[in-house]
Copies of this chain bind each other. A is one copy, B any other.
Amino acid sequence: MNAGLSRQALARLPLYLSYLKNLEEVEYISAPVLAASLNLNEVQVRKDLAAVSRRPGLPKKGFLLKDLIYDIADILGYHNEKDAILVGAGQLGRALMSYEGFAEYGIRIAAAFDTDPSVIDGKTIFPVSKMKDLCGRMKIHIGVITVPAAAAQQVCDGLIECGILAIWNFAPVHLHTPSSILVQNENMASSLALLSNHLRQLRELS
């Protein structure tokens, strides 16, 4: 299991999981049913499930729902809590900090950092100068960047100095990092680009 899990397949798993968790009064779930519910190709789902499930599915029945939920959550790392730090406690940063959903994803924002004294409270939001110390002590490996674009690279460099291994970047810039560091861009501008393009094409048709 987890052998042939492509990037895309991995990104589909949370979708499966959220759907499966909402099912009630169901003991088994089959790939065709799941595929139909999420508008996905049946074979694709079958392959994904085969890759994540520890026990094979049962012909004519499918997969035991309870086990499947467990297996997917496990692969997604939801079962072991990981601490993260966040840099940039502006509106977006604070929205993320107060998002309870992260617990479900195995992520806990242990602390946030900012340079603006007016947002620093010494309880959850600290001055950036304290970052390295805290990261080292808590062995934190995930950093969330929610600072303005202009400051993002510098913050990124700082996080790497602190021993961060994976970065979740909300700033609309490309970050330069050593190849061992994973940067996951939450690229809202790209999403908007796809929306705009769709609307324009509709307009051009008419």
Is A33 an interface residue when CB atoms closer than 8 A count as contact?
Answer: no
The reply to whether B173 and A105 contact each other, CB–CB distance below 8 Å, is no
| Distance, CA A46 to CA B168, complexed state (A) | 28
Count of chain copies? 2
- Grouping DSSP codes into helix (H, G, I), strand (E, B) and loop, the A interface class, with mixed when no group exceeds half, is helix
Query: Using a CB-CB cutoff of 8 Å, which residues 186-206 of chain A contact chain B?
Result: 186-200, 202
Q: Is the CB of B194 within 8 A of A10?
A: yes
**A197, closest chain B residue (CB):** B10
A178 to B105, alpha carbons, bound, how many Å?
A: 30
Cβ of A174 and Cβ of B91 under 8 Å apart? Answer: no
Instruction: Give Cα A95–Cα B12 distance, bound, in whole angstroms.
Output: 27
26 contacts between A and B (CB under 8 A): A5-B197, A10-B197, A11-B187, A11-B190, A12-B190, A13-B193, A14-B172, A15-B190, A19-B174, A38-B174, A39-B174, A76-B192, A76-B197, A77-B196, A77-B200, A78-B196, A91-B95, A94-B95, A105-B192, A141-B199, A168-B191, A182-B195, A182-B198, A184-B191, A184-B194, A186-B188
